[in-house]
Chain A
Amino acid sequence: MNETTPAPTVPAPVSTRAPGKTAPPRPAADAGQTGRRRAAELLQRQGVLAVLLTVVIAASFIYPTFASLDNARGVTIQASFLAVVALGMTMVIITGGIDLSVGSVFALGGVLAAWASQYGFLAALLVPLTVCGAIGLLNGFLIARGNMAPFIVTLATLLGARGLLLTLTDEGATTHLVPKDSAFGELGQGSVWGFGYPILIALVLFGAGGIVLQRTSFGQTLFAVGGSSDAATLMGLPVVRTKILVYTLSGLLAGLAGALNAARLSSGVTIVGVGMELDAISAVVIGGTLLIGGAGSISGTLWGVLLLAVIQNLINQIGSLNSSYQSVVSGGFLIVVVVAQRYLARSRRTT
């Protein structure tokens, strides 16, 4: 799982599914077993991508409107905000933690950005990033230094961040607007070949995230902390610092996603982000990242996010189905994926 090359920064062509690695030398005796393990590994790593591609290809044949460029633009822009949030979540989950506060932080980031956009482009980005980063830092500090359970700490900051948001908006009565034709508004609404800037930003962030995760010591430490916190400590890795940093990062990314969303909507909508943390977790888990930590990939999360978005889009395409089928299907996927993961992990572990 950790052996993938850095996550591709663009939705990869089918050929990347076959890793071009030479088979390593190993005793012939356990070749059969190894083959099965390899298959399990491949399935765990690329299974979501395979499902995503299958769904996309099938849908393109059945619903001609699905395959249109316009629809692709719509799906990806919808997915881009969740993707940025899920990126931070992936890193947190790889360390064996969880961040429930991202939904609230996402909404808070949007409101702050919209409010600060009257002071210019930089303010509109820096204000939400600072505040949301601080919330993440608080999470990390309480979890790593205070030794408190991530679940409950981030649950509290979920409430706290939403409270802060309501304070800023006169209990949700005021909606701050992004000035028309501002540079900040352009960030959310502008596009290249019809693909909005948020999509590009998300892709760049995923590329950077993949490099950080796979090619830096920080990334390796994330895996080590999640894989075995005790071993990481005994190996002399900076466990506490890494944990604080990863929650800060998650806060920053959620805040950024919120700001981008506000730029796109031209206003700081207060009711967004409710339940987003669970969508993000679902996407991460569907993407093959283990919730117990220690294994996962950025690319998997990207496929997971896209899969959720495609499912939603398809259910909209099928006019006769109401949108609630989306969560039924997502929930079903989640069960199948986690149970499959469990068995794959078991079959890989037995030697």
Chain B
Amino acid sequence: MSKRFSGVVALDDVSFSLRAGETHALVGENGAGKSTLIKVLTGVYRPDAGELRLADEPVRFSRPSEAQQAGISTIYQEVNLVPLMSVARNIFLGREPRNRLGLIDFSRMHRETAALLGGFGVRADPRRPLHTLGIGTQQMVALARAVSVNAQVVIMDEPTSSLEPREVETLFRVIGDLRGRGIAVLYVSHRMDELYRICDRVTVLRDGRHIHTGDLAGLDRMQLVSMMLGRDLAEVRRAGVTNFAAEGHEAARTPVLTATGLTSRLQLHDISLSLYAGEVLGLGGLLGSGRSETAKALSGALPLDSGELTVDGTELKRLTPAAAIRAGISLLPEDRKAEGIVPGLSVRENIVLAALPRLSRGGVVSRARQDRIVEIFMKRLRIKASSPEQKVGELSGGNQQKVLLARWLCLEPKVLLLDEPTRGIDVGAKAEVQSLIDDLAREGLAVLLISSDIEELIEGADRIVVLRGGAVAGELAGDEVAEDRLLEVLADHAPAPEDNATAAQEDPR
């Protein structure tokens, strides 16, 4: 069984093959092209060039139903089922069993569902609406649907990201069953432990390019992580360094922001960190480790189950975005389009959006004051727009990002949380943003920097807190802030609690 394509914009000449009965890992950081690849395989997108062969027959899918009929089924990271419909209906949607009258045969449907789920060790009433089940069970239902269509290939996109350890075990057992039945599994995950436990081979993608395919057993974790992050090729590709100054910053003695015990169900576990004025604190971790969630929690945008946040010695009582902003915390969100810009508004308006109340008298906005601020920041951040009145939606990604930075900077914050500030922007803008971060820290701002770009993190941060599985896995300071140390902590499989203890018992591999 082999699949080939090339020339897709987000996917450049990627070829790999999937053997019957193997579990194949697909890894890569954000923007590596994994999602695109999956969507091509499942018929959501059509490749611009290249071909797809299934059991040596060239196939062409123009819509998802065709891929499913051909025997490729998928379970997605976010459960892609219909929450209000029952378990059985979800599993059989589009291919319900009929009785003699041509009507849906519910008793058969419920029976088969119970049998199917029973095979996975899941006991759930087939009649229950899906949304009343736990996320893990829902994921199992998705899996049951995927398997029950006589699939030859099952694609799993981060299936464990919302599962409890016990549910992960069930999933792995099911994958084992599939392997036994000669079904190929394409397994996408960032959790090293999982990959090494269940996958036979691995394919690494980066920036839409195929980097490596090979047996997983002979591959060292450090090697795998460095391939994902592109460190080996970095010198060649980027000819050197980021735009961060070589020396660090003078950090203050008392923290401007202290977080203790931030906890949010299934996302964050007891995260504590302090941020000092004048430093750049890096937040490291692989995708899904809880970096963005931590930043959101600090800015009041993620509801917390417990935890405290103190700014300049005052505890924030009701943590909302507005309260955090008043306290001087600003978040540059990861998803620029969905959570950052208001595309229909002008550059000027996007910059002053959060500062509007401060720029107005009696509710009437002072245009002169706006223009003054906008001019200062457009000049300082070198925002390239035809005029301040151009719509932000028409700007390049880099300039949009600078507009958002300006939005927060004009509030004169004490703490700036930057979630992937340089992702998806061009090289020039990237360098500018990086040196800006440097300047800001030098001016006494406390900066939290999240980046998947390991070079950016190492060179930009004075100190790095590394997260894994929504908890703090380690902290690097001073000389430790170096690539090999970071890779070590990232790849570390020093047992995370219980998760691995059970794993070791059941699967000695």
Which among B74, B76, B94, B131 is the interface contact of A217 at CB below 8 angstroms? B94
Judging by beta carbons under 8 Å apart, are B85 and A24 in contact? no
| Interchain residue pairs with CB less than 8 A apart (16) | A2-B84, A21-B127, A214-B104, A215-B103, A215-B104, A220-B85, A220-B89, A220-B94, A234-B44, A234-B76, A234-B80, A235-B80, A235-B145, A236-B63, A236-B64, A294-B85
Cα A149 to Cα B85 with chains together (Å): 25
Judging by beta carbons under 8 Å apart, are B131 and A2 in contact? no
A73 part of interface (Cβ distance < 8 Å): no
Segment 460-485 of B: residues with Cβ below 8 Å from A: none
Judging by beta carbons under 8 Å apart, are B132 and A232 in contact? no
B343 part of interface (Cβ distance < 8 Å): no
Q: Which residue of A lies closest to B66 (CB)?
A: A236
B289 part of interface (Cβ distance < 8 Å): no
Residues of A within 8 A of B64 (CB): 233-236
Residues of A within 8 A of B (CB): 1-3, 21, 24-26, 37, 211, 214-217, 220-221, 223-224, 227-228, 230-238, 290, 294-295, 348-349, 351
Residues of A within 8 A of B67 (CB): 236
- What is the distance, in angstroms, from B461's C-beta to the closest C-beta of chain A? 37
B82 part of interface (Cβ distance < 8 Å): yes
| 5 interchain residue pairs of minimum CB distance | A236-B65, A24-B125, A227-B82, A215-B103, A236-B64
Cα A231 to Cα B339 with chains together (Å): 23
B139 part of interface (Cβ distance < 8 Å): no
B400 part of interface (Cβ distance < 8 Å): no
Judging by beta carbons under 8 Å apart, are B132 and A351 in contact? yes
- What is the distance, in angstroms, from B56's C-beta to the closest C-beta of chain A? 24
Cα A223 to Cα B34 with chains together (Å): 31
Judging by beta carbons under 8 Å apart, are B132 and A228 in contact? no
Cα A233 to Cα B45 with chains together (Å): 12
Judging by beta carbons under 8 Å apart, are A216 and B125 in contact? no
Interface of B is mostly: loop
Judging by beta carbons under 8 Å apart, are A216 and B103 in contact? yes
Q: Most chain-A Cβ atoms within 10 A of its Cβ — which of B66, B82, B104?
A: B82
- What is the distance, in angstroms, from A9's C-beta to the closest C-beta of chain B? 15
Cα A227 to Cα B80 with chains together (Å): 11
Cα A36 to Cα B260 with chains together (Å): 36
Cα A317 to Cα B69 with chains together (Å): 60
Cα A54 to Cα B84 with chains together (Å): 29
Residues of A within 8 A of B95 (CB): 217
- What is the distance, in angstroms, from B121's C-beta to the closest C-beta of chain A? 14
Q: Which residue of B lies closest to A238 (CB)?
A: B65
Judging by beta carbons under 8 Å apart, are B42 and A234 in contact? yes
Judging by beta carbons under 8 Å apart, are B74 and A25 in contact? no
Cα A258 to Cα B133 with chains together (Å): 44
Cα A227 to Cα B65 with chains together (Å): 18
B298 part of interface (Cβ distance < 8 Å): no
Which among B81, B86, B96 is the interface contact of A2 at CB below 8 angstroms? B86
Cα A26 to Cα B410 with chains together (Å): 55
Judging by beta carbons under 8 Å apart, are B132 and A3 in contact? no
- What is the distance, in angstroms, from B478's C-beta to the closest C-beta of chain A? 45
Judging by beta carbons under 8 Å apart, are A227 and B68 in contact? no
Judging by beta carbons under 8 Å apart, are A349 and B131 in contact? yes
Judging by beta carbons under 8 Å apart, are B125 and A37 in contact? no
Cα A228 to Cα B142 with chains together (Å): 14
Judging by beta carbons under 8 Å apart, are B94 and A221 in contact? yes
Residues of A within 8 A of B123 (CB): 25-26
Segment 74-98 of B: residues with Cβ below 8 Å from A: 74, 76, 80-86, 89, 93-96
B307 part of interface (Cβ distance < 8 Å): no
Q: Which residue of B lies closest to A293 (CB)?
A: B84
Which among A24, A37, A228 is the interface contact of B82 at CB below 8 angstroms? A228
B134 part of interface (Cβ distance < 8 Å): yes
Which among A3, A215, A224, A351 is the interface contact of B93 at CB below 8 angstroms? A224
Residues of A within 8 A of B173 (CB): none
Judging by beta carbons under 8 Å apart, are B93 and A228 in contact? no
- What is the distance, in angstroms, from A110's C-beta to the closest C-beta of chain B? 34
Which among B65, B81, B127 is the interface contact of A231 at CB below 8 angstroms? B81
Q: A220-B104, A235-B64 are in contact. Are A26 and B83 (CB under 8 A)?
A: no
Q: A228-B83, A236-B65, A295-B84 are in contact. Are A220 and B127 (CB under 8 A)?
A: no
Residues of A within 8 A of B93 (CB): 220-221, 224, 232, 235, 237
Q: A234-B42, A234-B80, A349-B131 are in contact. Are A26 and B125 (CB under 8 A)?
A: yes
Q: Most chain-B Cβ atoms within 10 A of its Cβ — which of A3, A230, A238, A290?
A: A3
- What is the distance, in angstroms, from B124's C-beta to the closest C-beta of chain A? 8
- What is the distance, in angstroms, from B39's C-beta to the closest C-beta of chain A? 9
Residues of A within 8 A of B103 (CB): 211, 215-216
Q: Which residue of A lies closest to B96 (CB)?
A: A217
- What is the distance, in angstroms, from B434's C-beta to the closest C-beta of chain A? 36
